[in-house]
Amino acid sequence: MGKTNVFDKLRPIKQLVTSYQRGRRRLFFLSRWFVLCLLVSLVGCGKSSKITVSNSDLKDIQERGELRVITMESPFAYFVDEDDEMGYEYDLALNYADYLRVDVKLIVAKSVEDMKTLLLTGQGDVIAYRFPSTQENRADVVFTNRRYDSYPVLVQLRSKNMVKDVTDLVGKEVYAQKETKYWRRLVNLNKEIGGGMTIKAVDDSIPADQLAVMVSQRKIPMTIVDNDVALLSRSNLRNIDISVPVGLPQETAWVVRKTSPELLASINAWSEEISKSRFYKQLYTKYYSKSRYFSDIKSTIPKGSISPYDEFFKQYAKQIDWDWRLLAALAFNESHFDVNAVSSSGALGLMQMMPGTGAKYGLDATEIFEAESAIAASVQYIKALNLIYRSVEDPEERIKFILASYNAGPAHVLDARALATKYGESPHVWNNVEKYLLLKNKPEYYNDEVCKAGYFRGKHTVRYVGDVFDTYNHYLGVKKEK
């Protein structure tokens, strides 16, 4: 009773999360040893290993005033970003608790089997996770209508020699956690293609979505994940390909115990209602676009190195007679060494080249997200810029003009040089030219007949030149060339 208009009164997502960060909700990270101890206490030494299933149902949750939600860390289910608890399923669980007028206690498990054990033994009330609908799981738990369809896909680096079909996996290495549905699928797939694929195990603490990141970072060659996770990964990791399916669709859903029929009916009713709400649409946009789950994933910098790509900077900087650390400083200020970076203006990859510029120097849509290819192309672009400013004799001054043009394009820098000349100042000195670059946001300057490129806000470009040199000087202090 009294719930028919609840979705008309939904608070914004952020407020909803914040409100549940107060009160009685606590976060529990349950380690494997805890689950093992729990099982031992329930089963006893030398006795039957059958788990005693809890009979708790909706009435017990309402009397307790607390919904115990079991989940796992993943980009969809639950994660913490800058102390802010987030996740598609997490936000839905908070909304369902609001529907019941109860608080939430979150239980973060380590594996799918942990989640099931915690549910069956009464440590939690519902698994708010995309729980796989296998024959074994259907025998133990009941699936709600908060469900999704998914199928496994191959995650690999985009390249001209990508795997196009599962038969191409012969002779390839694919990584997965042992004793997971992904491992079992790979074992069966290997039989289907007649053998020849090498299946490599990873530490069972590494979730599937992190394996996609490891592929992006070239730590492993291939893995498989569900297509929904793959789509989210692909929208954030631009150098991976997810186009090859490796299995049939499988249903996943939130689950409850078979002894909780009232809870099942309540979740199903809520799920039907919320699927028509504005909140649900906002939630989809929030998590299916650029996810904050990936925002802190950075390329690992080896100890004693400036970047993950020092060898490439050293190799290609020689072509332009630059200190390789200056080229690395440019890349850092462009992308923070993120090969998947995409700027608001559409610049792409490690070296943040525009697609048109990249194509001019031999980069296709795949190669622009590859570190070595991007560095090689950017060096060719720098060579072209060097020719434009060949009249600037001082090497350091010329580099400043090149950096400004790399950041903003040469047209506005050439306009600023023309203005400097008109007003009697040397166009070969960066301090003179940057002054007029900053003045190009004023009509009396950008409408001057010597200007060809029009209006320009130069603050960012001027700051960029200084930032690159500051980074370079920092590198000179922390990393000396042997």
Task: Please give the pLDDT value at position 218.
Answer: 83
Average pLDDT on 155-164 reads 90
Specify whether the CB–CB gap between 206 and 177 falls below 8 A. yes
Task: Please give the pLDDT value at position 8.
Answer: 40
Structure token pair of residue 356: 């048109």
Task: Please give the pLDDT value at position 294.
Answer: 58
Q: Given a cut of 70, is residue 421 above it in pLDDT?
A: yes
Structure token pair of residue 304: 């004693």
* Mean pLDDT of the residues in the chain: 84
Q: Given a cut of 80, is residue 205 above it in pLDDT?
A: no
Q: Given a cut of 80, is residue 241 above it in pLDDT?
A: yes
Task: Please give the pLDDT value at position 334.
Answer: 94
Average pLDDT on 167-195 reads 93
Higher pLDDT, 294 or 305: 305
> How far is CA 412 from each of CA 349, 401, 460, rounded to the nearest angstrom?
23, 11, 13
Task: Please give the pLDDT value at position 465.
Answer: 96
Q: How confident is the model at residue 234 (pLDDT cuts 50, 70, 90)?
A: confident
Q: Given a cut of 60, is residue 45 above it in pLDDT?
A: no
Average pLDDT on 125-147 reads 93
443: amino acid identity, one letter: P
Is 117 exposed, middle or buried, given 0-12, 13-18 or 19+ CB atoms closer than 10 A? buried
Q: Which alpha helices (DSSP H) does 345-392 contain, by range?
A: 355-360, 371-388
Average pLDDT on 408-420 reads 96
338: amino acid identity, one letter: D
Structure token pair of residue 213: 């990141």
Q: Given a cut of 70, is residue 339 above it in pLDDT?
A: yes
Task: Please give the pLDDT value at position 50.
Answer: 62
Q: 46-55, 89-98, 109-118, 222-231: lowest mean pLDDT where?
A: 46-55
Q: 14-18, 249-253, 352-356, 375-379: lowest mean pLDDT where?
A: 14-18
Average pLDDT on 249-278 reads 93
Helices 227-236, 278-288: crossing angle, 10 deg rounding = 60
Task: Please give the pLDDT value at position 1.
Answer: 38
Going along the chain from its start, the domains and CATH numbers come out as 6-148+251-294 (3.40.190.10), 152-248 (3.40.190.10), 310-478 (1.10.530.10)
Backbone torsion region of residue 356, taken as left when φ is above 0, otherwise alpha when ψ lies between -120 and 50, otherwise beta: alpha
Q: Which alpha helices (DSSP H) does 124-277 contain, by range?
A: 135-140, 181-192, 208-216, 227-236, 261-274
Contacts 24+ apart (CB under 8 A), 394-401: 394/428, 397/428, 397/429, 397/430, 399/322, 399/326, 400/430, 400/465, 400/469, 401/430, 401/433
- For 241, what's the count of Cα atoms within 13 Å in the CB-facing half-sphere? 19
Higher pLDDT, 21 or 88: 88
Q: Which of 294, 297, 334 is nearest to 313 (CA)?
A: 334
Q: What is the pLDDT of residues 54-91, one digit of tens each?
A: 889 999 999 999 999 999 988 778 888 666 788 889 99
Task: Please give the pLDDT value at position 4.
Answer: 38
User: What does DSSP assign to residue 301?
Assistant: P
Q: How confident is the model at residue 313 (pLDDT cuts 50, 70, 90)?
A: very high
Average pLDDT on 306-320 reads 95
Task: Please give the pLDDT value at position 299.
Answer: 59
pTM as predicted: 0.52
Q: Given a cut of 60, is residue 337 above it in pLDDT?
A: yes
Q: CA-based angle 304:307:308, to the nearest 5? A: 100
Residue 367, φ and ψ in degrees, nearest 5 = -65, -25
Gap between the Cα atoms of 261 and 460, Å rounded: 60
Query: Which range among 163-172, 207-216, 238-247, 270-279 has the greatest average pLDDT?
Result: 163-172
Task: Please give the pLDDT value at position 477.
Answer: 84
Q: How confident is the model at residue 13 (pLDDT cuts 50, 70, 90)?
A: very low
Gap between the Cα atoms of 187 and 198, Å rounded: 9
Q: Given a cut of 70, is residue 342 above it in pLDDT?
A: yes
Is 482 exposed, middle or buried, given 0-12, 13-18 or 19+ CB atoms closer than 10 A? exposed
> How far is CA 284 from each of CA 87, 293, 395, 455, rounded to the nearest angstrom?
11, 15, 52, 39
Task: Please give the pLDDT value at position 32.
Answer: 38
Q: How confident is the model at residue 352 (pLDDT cuts 50, 70, 90)?
A: very high
Q: CA-based angle 311:313:318, to the nearest 5? A: 110
Q: Given a cut of 80, is residue 344 above it in pLDDT?
A: no
Is 304 exposed, middle or buried, given 0-12, 13-18 or 19+ CB atoms closer than 10 A? exposed
Average pLDDT on 254-270 reads 96
Q: Given a cut of 90, is residue 42 above it in pLDDT?
A: no
Q: Given a cut of 70, is residue 394 above it in pLDDT?
A: yes
Q: How confident is the model at residue 110 (pLDDT cuts 50, 70, 90)?
A: confident
> How far is CA 377 from each of CA 318, 358, 402, rounded to the nearest angstrom?
14, 7, 15
Average pLDDT on 226-240 reads 80
Q: Given a cut of 80, is residue 438 above it in pLDDT?
A: yes
Specify whether the CB–CB gap between 158 and 185 falls below 8 A. no
